[in-house]
Structure 1
Amino acid sequence: MGTVGQGLAPDFPEAVLRDLGAGVFTVDMAGRITYANPCAERLLGRPLERMLGQDAHGLLHRRPDGGPIPRERCAMLAPLYGNRAAEEGSEEHFRRADGTVLPIIWAATPLLLSGRQAGMVVYFDDFSQHRGYADRMAAHTAALEALTARLNLLAEVSAVLMSTLETSARVRKLLRLLVPAMGDWAVVDLARKGPPGLERAVRSSTRPHRARWLERPLPPLPEKTRAAVTRVMNSDDPVRLTAKELLENPDAPLAGTHRKLFERLGGHSATVVSLRARRQSYGMLTVARAGESEPHTDAEIRLFLDIGRRLALALDNSRLYDEQRNVAETMQRQLLAPLPQVGRLRMAARYLPAQSAMEIGGDWYDAFLLSGGVLAVVIGDVVGHDLEAASHMAEVRNMLRALAWDHEEPPSVIMRRVDEAVTNTSDAPMATLVFARIEGREGGPWQLRWANAGHPPPLLVTHEGEARFLTAGHGPLIGMSATLNLGLNWPDAVEDLPPESVLLLYTDGLVESRTRPIDLGMAKLGHHASVLARRMAHRTVDEFCDELLTRIAPSGDDTALLALRLPEAGAGAPGDHRPPPPPQAPYSPAAPNRAAPGSRRQDARVRDTTRDPRQEG
C-alpha cells in the first residue's frame, strides 16, 4: 500500500480507509479481491471474509436489471490490462448480497507496490444519493426559475397597468403578456357602466381570427348565468372550468359565458378569477390551456388571483381619477360664466384642463360689466393643483367680482381690497391675477387700465402684427402683502388699445411647461400671435384662439386664455352704418365635448369657448 510517512503511526493508512465515507476495495492482477474497507462492506452487504479471494467482476458487476456483464466489456478492469490511467464513471451497478443492485459512482486506478503494478484500487459510492441530490438541485433550480418567471411577469403586469389610464389599452396589453406565456387563450370580461352586461376582450395564440370575432359585448345573460357571474365577480376564490363540463352540460353555471369560448377557441381547461378591489367588482379574468399542456397548477392560479387584484386596483384607480376629474372640471366650468359682448368688442375664451387629475383647479378667466357700464376682464391662477385649489379659486373670483361691482375704483385699489379680503376671510392660498378695465366709448378710442398681481403680463398684438407684452402695473401676489404686513401696493397701468388689435390674457400653463422655461414660452406666444394677427385679420377671434392653441399646444398644467379684439376705428359710433362683426357659434362650458386623453389639438378646438348668444351684435 506504499510507505508510511515520517511521523505517522504505522496504522495511519488503515485508519484513513476505515473512516473514509465511501467504499474502497483492492484486487490483484487476476481481479481477485484482496481488501475492502468497512464502508464497502456496508454498501455491498457483504463481510470482508466472504469477499476475499473472490473475482470482483463476477461477484459484483451487474447490469441495471441484475444480469451479468461480459468481462471484455467491463470498463473497471481497464487498469489491469495495460491502461495505467485512472477510469471513472456513474453508469455502473454492483450486486449486493441480498440480490439487489446498487447504482454507483466509481473510479479505478492501478495499485503500485515497490514501483510495480500489483493490482487495482476501486473507489465507489451510492450514486442514488448523488442522483437524489442532483434531482433535488434540479427541482430547486426549476422552482427558482418558475418563481423568477412569475415575479418577472408580475413586474411586467404592473408596468403595463401603470403605463396608461385608458382601460381597453391596459386590458389588451395584459392579455398579450398572458398569452401564450400562461395559457393558449385568455379573456377579460368587464362589467358595463350602462345597461347591465359584459364587455369582452379576447386573445388567442392559436386562433387569433376567431378571437377577434368574439370581442364584442355579450348579449343579455339568462338569470341563472347572471347569478353565477355575479357570484364569481364578488368572490375571492378561483373557479376551475373544464371543456367537457361546459360542452356536455349546457346548464352549467358559466356555460352562458364560457361555452362558446371553448367551442371557438378549443382547450381543455381554464381558470376564472374575479377582478375585485376595494369592494368594487369590475369583471372576470379567464386563462385557458389547450393541447398537451397540463391544467394550471395551484401556484399559477395564485398568480392569476394576484394579477386579477392588480388589474382591479388599476381599474378602481381609473374610476377614482375620473370621479375627481369630473367633479373638478364640472365645478370649474360652472364658474366660467358666459362672456358679455359690449358693443362691437368681441371676446373669446378657452380653458384646457390639466392632463393629470391632481393638477386641476386654480386657473380661471372672467369678464363682466361693472355698475357704471365699464367692461372688466380678469385672468387668474390660485396656487395649488387639486380640487381644493378649484374651491379657493371660486372664493377669490367671487370676492373680486363683488368688490369690483360695489366699488367703482381703480384696479390698484380693487387689488388691495381683494388682498385684504382673501387674507382675513378666506383659507385660500396666494393667487396671481390681472384685473383690468376696458375704458372707452362706442367707436373708440379705447384704453386698458389694469393692475397685475404677480401674473404673466398681458400681450397686445396690433392689426399689423406688432406684439408687445404689457409689463407695467406689477405688484405682489394676492394674499402675500397683507399676510406678511409688507405694506406693498399695486400700481395702476394705462395703455391705449389700437383699433382692430387683439388683447390676450392667459395663465402660465400656456407659456410654461416642465420642458420649457417661461421666457421661451412667452417668446413663442408673441411670435405666433404676431403671425396670426396678420394672417387672420378678417377671421373671428374664436378662430384666432383655436389656431393659437393649435400652434402652441400647451401640455401639463391647466390653461386659461381670454382674448379681446377691438373694433375698427369709429365702428359703432353714432352715424356709423357699417355692419357689426359676424356672430359666432356659442359654446357651453357646462357640457364640453371630451376629446381623447392626450389629444390636445382637439381639446383646443372644442373646449370652453363661452359666449352669450343673447349679446351677439
Structure 2
Amino acid sequence: MTATTENWTIASAADAARARALLARLAADAGVPALDRARFLTDLGPRLRGALDAGGTELTVTAETDGRLRLALGGPEPWQHTLDCSSPVPGPLPAPADASLAEALLGADEDAAALLASLAETEELLRLHREELHQTNQGVLALHAELEAAALAQRELLDAERAARAEAEKARRLLTFLANASAVLNASLDHEDILRRLPELLVPEYARHVDVWLADDEQTPPGGRAAATVTAARTGRPQHASPHLGELPGVDDLPASALFPDRPLLCLPLGARTVQGVLTLAAPGERFDPDTTVMLLELARRAGIALDNARQYEQHRDVAEALQRAQLTELPTTPGLALAARYLPATHGLNIGGDWYDAFPQPDGSVLAVIGDVTGHGLRAAVIMGQLRTALRAYAVEGNGPARILTLLHRMLRHQEPELYATCAIARVTPGEPGVVWAAAGHPPAVARDPGGGVRVLEAKPGIMLGVPLPYEYEEHSVELPAGSTLALYTDGLVERRSAGIDAGIDRLAQAMGALGAADMADLDAAADSLLKPMLHDSEHDDDICLLLCRTTGP
C-alpha cells in the first residue's frame, strides 16, 4: 500500500468550505479525537482565509501508509500540518466537490457538542480541583496557624524557662551571699568587728551606703537619724522611705526621708527577739529589688543575733576576767627572796582560763610558790580556780607540805567536781637555806638557773592530775639551789604549741633562761619580760600563760 496524494485548488470561499468539510470528515473517519480535530480545523480556517485573500492557492493532502495525514498549503505564508490518525485513511482521497456542506455543518455541531461535553467535564474536573485546592489551602493555612501557635507557645516556654533559670540563679546567688555573710558575721565575737564588716559585705552591690545605729548609742541623738530609722527602732518593723511606693515584702512604706530625699532608704531592725539596733541602707540604684529585700531582712536578723552573741560573750568574758584577776595574788615581800609573776590570757577563744599563780609565807618563815591550771575556759574554770586557791591556802595554814596539800586538793576536786581536772606545782623555798622542796600534780617541770648561768630542768616524775577519779598520794622532791638561783614555775601555755610538742617548748625555756646574763637577772621583773619575748615570738597562743619566778638572795 502506497501513500495517496491529492492537490486541491482553493480559489473561492466555497472551495475553502468544501476543503474544510472534507478534511473534517476524513479526520473523523480516521479516528482523530474531536478535541484534536477542533484544534486542527480552528487552525486551518484562518490559513485558508489568508490564502484566499492572497488570490488563492493549492492545498496538498497526503495519506501516509503509517496512518498520518499530511497537509501543505502554499501561498505567501506556506503552512504544513500532520494529523496522527488511529486508523489509515482509505484511498483514493475524495475530491472537494464530493463534500456535503450540510453534512459538514451537522458534523461540526456534533464536534462542537463533543467538545462542549469535554469542556464541561474539564470544567467539572477543574471545579473539583479548585475545591480540592481550596481545602488544601485551608488546611495549609490551618497548619500554618497551628505551627505559628506552636512556635509562639515554644517561645513562651523558652522565655518562661529563661526567666525561671534567671530567678533560680538569682535565688542561688542571694542564698550563697547570705550563707557567706552569715559565716563572716558569726565568725567574730567582737561587736566592733561585726559593725565594721557589715558595710564591707553590702557596699556597693546591695547598698550605696550603710549606717548602723545601735540601741545603746548615746553619741548620735535620734534627731540626727532618718525618721524611718527611728521608726524601725521604735516599732521593730522594717521601714522603706522613698518618693515612690516600694511595696516590698514585709516592709512598711514611708515618705521620702528629709535627710536623704533623693534616694530610697531601707531601715532594717537588727535582731530576732529584741532590737539591737537598725541597719539603714541607701539603695544602690533607683529602688530596692523585692527578692534582695527578703535576703537583706534575713541578713539583718542574723546580724542582730551575731551582735547579741558578741555582747553576751563580752559580758561573760569581762566577768570571768575580773574574777580571775581578783584571784591573782599580789606577791609578798620577803627578805632573802625575790618574786616576779606574769599572766597573759589566750589570744583566741574566750581569753579566760583557769591558770593561776600564788605565793604566800608560812609560819616557819618559808614561802610557798604555787602555779596551777584548771582544764577548760570561761567563768566556770575561773570559779574552780578560785576555789582551789582558797582551799590550798587553807591546807597550807594547817602546816601541810606541798605533797600533802596536793593530796588534799585532789581529794576535794575528785568529790566536788568529778568532771573537772587541774594541774598544779607547789615549791617551798626557805630564805637562807640552799634548797627547794616541791611536789607536782600533772604539771610541767620547773626550770632552775644557778648564779653562774647553768640551767637544769627538775624532771622528777609528777603525780596524776588533780581530780582524776583515782585515790592518790603525792610525793615531795627536793634539790639543792645555791643563793642567787632562780626557779621558774609556769603553765603549759608558755611552752606548748600545736606545731611542736611540750618537750621542745621546755627546752626553749631552758635555753632562754641560760641566755640571760647576770645583769638581766638583777631585776626579776625585767627578767620575766625578757623570758617571755623569745617564748612568744609569734604573739599568738591558744592557752593562758602564767610565769612565776623565785630567786633566793642569801641569808
Q: Distance in 2 between matches of 1:53 and 1:372?
A: 126
**Is the 8 Å Cα contact of residues 430 and 478 (structure 1) preserved in structure 2?**
yes
**Is the 8 Å Cα contact of residues 337 and 431 (structure 2) preserved in structure 1?**
no
Which residue matches 1:182?
Answer: 206
Which residue matches 1:283?
Answer: 278
2:332 pairs with 1:340 = yes
* Aligned pair partner of 1:431 in 401, 417, 422: 422
* Aligned pair partner of 1:298 in 241, 266, 290: 290
Which residue matches 2:45?
Answer: none
Which residue matches 1:503?
Answer: 487
* Aligned pair partner of 1:331 in 323, 338, 351: 323
Deviation of residue 53 (structure 1)? 6.7
**Is the 8 Å Cα contact of residues 346 and 565 (structure 1) preserved in structure 2?**
yes
Q: Distance in 2 between matches of 1:493 and 1:431?
A: 20
Query: Unpaired segments of 5 or more residues in structure 1?
Result: 1-31, 36-46, 61-93, 97-101, 106-124, 198-217, 246-251, 574-617
**Is the 8 Å Cα contact of residues 242 and 269 (structure 1) preserved in structure 2?**
yes
C-alpha change, 1:127 and 1:507, in structure 2 (3 Å) is same
Amino acid at match of 1:447: G
Which residue matches 2:110?
Answer: none
Which residue matches 2:240?
Answer: 240
1:466-481 to 2 correspondences below 5 Å: 466-472=454-460, 474-480=462-468
**Is the 8 Å Cα contact of residues 215 and 275 (structure 2) preserved in structure 1?**
no
Q: Distance in 2 between matches of 1:161 and 1:526?
A: 42
Q: Distance in 2 between matches of 1:566 and 1:345?
A: 5
CA offsets 1:453-506 (integer angstroms, 9 cap, x no match): 1110111123333221112262222233xx424xx4322211222333321111
CA offsets 1:76-133 (integer angstroms, 9 cap, x no match): xxxxxxxxxxxxxxxxxx999xxxxx6956xxxxxxxxxxxxxxxxxxx632111111
Q: Matched residue of 2:521: which SS?
A: coil
**Is the 8 Å Cα contact of residues 337 and 551 (structure 2) preserved in structure 1?**
yes
2:211 pairs with 1:221 = no
C-alpha change, 1:425 and 1:181, in structure 2 (3 Å) is closer
**Is the 8 Å Cα contact of residues 187 and 286 (structure 1) preserved in structure 2?**
yes
Deviation of residue 278 (structure 1)? 3.4
* Aligned pair partner of 1:545 in 501, 518, 528: 528
Q: Distance in 1 between matches of 2:512 and 2:154?
A: 79
Which residue matches 1:581?
Answer: none
Which residue matches 2:381?
Answer: 389
Q: Distance in 2 between matches of 1:53 and 1:403?
A: 115
Q: Distance in 1 between matches of 2:461 and 2:435?
A: 14
Q: Distance in 2 between matches of 1:276 and 1:325?
A: 22
Q: Distance in 2 between matches of 1:161 and 1:129?
A: 47
Structure 1 consecutive aligned stretches of length 4 or more whose deviation exceeds 6 Å: 53-56, 225-228, 252-255
**Is the 8 Å Cα contact of residues 473 and 491 (structure 1) preserved in structure 2?**
no
Q: Matched residue of 2:340: which SS?
A: strand
C-alpha change, 1:476 and 1:165, in structure 2 (3 Å) is closer
Q: Matched residue of 1:446: which SS?
A: coil
Q: Specify the structure having the higher radius of gyration (Cα).
A: 2
**Is the 8 Å Cα contact of residues 241 and 264 (structure 2) preserved in structure 1?**
yes
* Aligned pair partner of 1:457 in 433, 440, 445: 445
Q: Distance in 2 between matches of 1:388 and 1:381?
A: 13
Q: Distance in 2 between matches of 1:254 and 1:410?
A: 79
377-386 or 305-314, larger mean C-alpha shift = 377-386
**Is the 8 Å Cα contact of residues 456 and 506 (structure 1) preserved in structure 2?**
yes
Amino acid at match of 2:488: L
Which residue matches 1:317?
Answer: 309
* Aligned pair partner of 2:218 in 189, 196, 209: 196
Which residue matches 1:167?
Answer: 191
Deviation of residue 447 (structure 1)? 1.8
Q: Distance in 2 between matches of 1:176 and 1:415?
A: 53
Amino acid at match of 1:152: T
Q: Distance in 1 between matches of 2:212 and 2:346?
A: 31
Q: Distance in 2 between matches of 1:54 and 1:318?
A: 77
2:554 pairs with 1:563 = no
Q: Matched residue of 1:440: which SS?
A: coil
2:359 pairs with 1:367 = yes
CA offsets 1:17-58 (integer angstroms, 9 cap, x no match): xxxxxxxxxxxxxxx9x99xxxxxxxxxxx9774447998xx
**Is the 8 Å Cα contact of residues 267 and 278 (structure 2) preserved in structure 1?**
no
C-alpha change, 1:362 and 1:296, in structure 2 (3 Å) is same
Q: Matched residue of 2:480: which SS?
A: strand
* Aligned pair partner of 2:499 in 515, 518, 525: 515
Normalising by structure 2, we get a TM-score of: 0.68
Q: Distance in 1 between matches of 2:542 and 2:265?
A: 44
Q: Matched residue of 1:474: which SS?
A: coil
Which residue matches 2:404?
Answer: 413
CA offsets 1:588-611 (integer angstroms, 9 cap, x no match): xxxxxxxxxxxxxxxxxxxxxxxx
Q: Distance in 1 between matches of 2:421 and 2:203?
A: 53
**Is the 8 Å Cα contact of residues 462 and 533 (structure 1) preserved in structure 2?**
no
Deviation of residue 298 (structure 1)? 2.2
Q: Matched residue of 1:371: which SS?
A: coil
Deviation of residue 433 (structure 1)? 0.7
Q: Distance in 2 between matches of 1:428 and 1:134?
A: 65
Deviation of residue 226 (structure 1)? 9.0
Which residue matches 1:136?
Answer: 160
Q: Distance in 1 between matches of 2:272 and 2:549?
A: 46
Q: Distance in 2 between matches of 1:196 and 1:133?
A: 57
Q: Distance in 2 between matches of 1:354 and 1:55?
A: 87
Deviation of residue 522 (structure 1)? 1.1
2:268 pairs with 1:273 = yes
C-alpha change, 1:469 and 1:243, in structure 2 (3 Å) is farther
**Is the 8 Å Cα contact of residues 446 and 487 (structure 2) preserved in structure 1?**
yes
C-alpha change, 1:254 and 1:562, in structure 2 (3 Å) is farther
Q: Distance in 1 between matches of 2:175 and 2:254?
A: 33
Q: Distance in 1 between matches of 2:132 and 2:382?
A: 96
Q: Distance in 1 between matches of 2:236 and 2:496?
A: 47
Which structure shows the bigger proportion of residues in helix conformation?
A: 2
C-alpha change, 1:547 and 1:282, in structure 2 (3 Å) is farther
1:147-166 to 2 correspondences below 5 Å: 147-166=171-190
1:9-28 to 2 correspondences below 5 Å: none
**Is the 8 Å Cα contact of residues 229 and 239 (structure 2) preserved in structure 1?**
no
Deviation of residue 543 (structure 1)? 1.6
Q: Distance in 2 between matches of 1:280 and 1:328?
A: 26
Equivalences, count? 418
1:44-193 to 2 correspondences below 5 Å: 50-52=134-136, 126-183=150-207, 185-191=208-214, 193=216
Which residue matches 1:122?
Answer: none
**Is the 8 Å Cα contact of residues 425 and 438 (structure 2) preserved in structure 1?**
yes
Deviation of residue 296 (structure 1)? 1.3
Instruction: Calculate the aligned-residue CA RMSD, in Å.
Output: 3.3
Deviation of residue 556 (structure 1)? 0.4
Query: Unpaired segments of 5 or more residues in structure 2?
Result: 1-125, 246-252
Q: Distance in 1 between matches of 2:353 and 2:150?
A: 77
Q: Matched residue of 1:161: which SS?
A: helix
Q: Distance in 1 between matches of 2:532 and 2:273?
A: 40
CA offsets 1:407-463 (integer angstroms, 9 cap, x no match): 2x432223223333334456673321111211133xxx4321111111101111233
Which residue matches 1:493?
Answer: 477
Q: Matched residue of 1:340: which SS?
A: coil
Deviation of residue 402 (structure 1)? 0.6
**Identical positions, percent:** 31
Amino acid at match of 1:166: D
Q: Matched residue of 1:402: which SS?
A: helix
Deviation of residue 243 (structure 1)? 5.8
**Is the 8 Å Cα contact of residues 233 and 284 (structure 1) preserved in structure 2?**
no
